[in-house]
Amino acid sequence: MTLIDSHLHINLKGFSLPKIIKYLDKEHIDCCWLLSWEEINHGPWDYKHLPVEDIYEAYLKYPSRIIPFYAPDPHRNDAITQLQNWHKKGIRGCGELKATLRWDSDRIRAILETAGRLRMPIVFHMEGSGFRDIPYSNALYDRLLFDGLRTKNIIYSIPQQILKVMVNVFSPLRNRNKSYFFPGYMLDFAALEVGLRDYPNVNFIAHGQMFWKYISADALSSEEQYPQGSIKGEGLIWRLLREYPNLYADTSGESGHVGLTRDSSTTKRFLSMFGDKIIYGTDNVLKEQKDFLRSLTLDNGTYKKIFGENAEKLLNM
């Protein structure tokens, strides 16, 4: 059975190229989709620039293990030119599209038009808007944990709670107790549905907190990004997956993990119903997703589709 991790990033959460290859070998994963993250004028929210150049270099070194993706920030005036040029070099898909725009934006529609013409699937991230506290410690914490002492193996000897205290002490005081308005990523479902209808030749692969929250019919009643507890009826994404053959979803990240593990019995029915539309991915979050999926005892044909066949089909491999 072919096994593909359809959502990975290089140089995020400590995943250097050697660590990615080691992870693929250890988990007996044949290959992975390596995705970019590009925002040219990002706000105070958490952001990690993951350039296409690093992805392409990894692909050239391991062409049988790395499937390169790239999503230019649609705010770039040369976004379409960049996508076309990288496609000529071998980029296979557009992802991760993670922009502070609505689906009905002219800039997003230009990306969709180009992706359809180039036969590139789009991996996108949906995340709700709202006021948030400035993450005054996150950036420094990540730098300490993954970009600094990690290379000397010192950081792993420091307990996590102590490390967080250290970060808080040294964080700039000017950022404390401030908030900002986060505009959200790839809003909203109504505009997404229009895009699904207007671009039937584009395969959309959904991911993110806002998408997986709507596995439950009571999503509107919760302000949590990661709702807990049983799934209450069929949420909006059931209808969208049922009605639009060009909509898919990946299992990756905290969002996929929380959304799927909150109610095993309903998740089993969901995955059985949409086995042709779900693809396996981790988003560098290794939380036993594969073991959980195996624990649901789906039929072998469904597992083959989720773990590899659907991803192969999307890229015509």
Q: What is the model's pLDDT at position 177?
A: 54
Q: What is the model's pLDDT at position 170?
A: 52
**Mean pLDDT, residues 121-147:** 70
How far apart CA 133 and CA 90 sit, in angstroms, is: 40
Q: What is the model's pLDDT at position 136?
A: 47
| pLDDT bucket at 141, cuts 50 / 70 / 90 | very low
Q: What is the model's pLDDT at position 110?
A: 98
Residue bearing the bigger pLDDT, 178 or 158: 178
Q: What is the model's pLDDT at position 161?
A: 53
- pLDDT score of 78 more than 70: yes
Q: Which of 82-91, 106-115, 147-156, 195-204 has the lowest mean pLDDT?
A: 147-156
Tokens 């620039």 belong to residue: 49
How far apart CA 24 and CA 313 sit, in angstroms, is: 20
| pLDDT bucket at 316, cuts 50 / 70 / 90 | confident
Q: What is the model's pLDDT at position 154?
A: 43
**Mean pLDDT, residues 58-67:** 98
Q: Which CATH architecture has domain 4-130+183-314?
A: Alpha-Beta Barrel (3.20)
Q: Which of 42-56, 158-172, 236-250, 271-285 has the lowest mean pLDDT?
A: 158-172
How far apart CA 244 and CA 200 sit, in angstroms, is: 8
Q: How many CB atoms lie within 10 A of CB 225?
A: 16
72: Cβ–Cβ under 8 A, 6 or more apart, which residues? 38, 78, 79, 80, 82, 83, 111
Q: What is the model's pLDDT at position 89?
A: 98
Q: What is the model's pLDDT at position 174?
A: 41
Average pLDDT, the chain: 89
| pTM of the predicted model over 0.85 | yes
- pLDDT score of 297 more than 80: yes
Residue bearing the bigger pLDDT, 136 or 183: 183
| pLDDT bucket at 159, cuts 50 / 70 / 90 | low
Residue bearing the bigger pLDDT, 303 or 146: 303
Cβ–Cβ under 8 Å, residues 104 and 89: no
Strand partners, 67: 33
Transcribe 91-131 into DSSP letters: --BEEEE--SSBTTSHHHHHHHHHHHHHT--EEEE-B--EE
From residue 259, alpha-carbon distances to 214, 243, 255, 262 in Å are 9, 21, 6, 6
- pLDDT score of 46 more than 80: yes
Domain with CATH 3.20.20.140 in the chain: 4-130+183-314
CB neighbour burial string for 91-124, b if at least 16 within 10 angstroms, e if fewer = bbbbbbbbbbbbbebebbbebbebbbebebbbbb
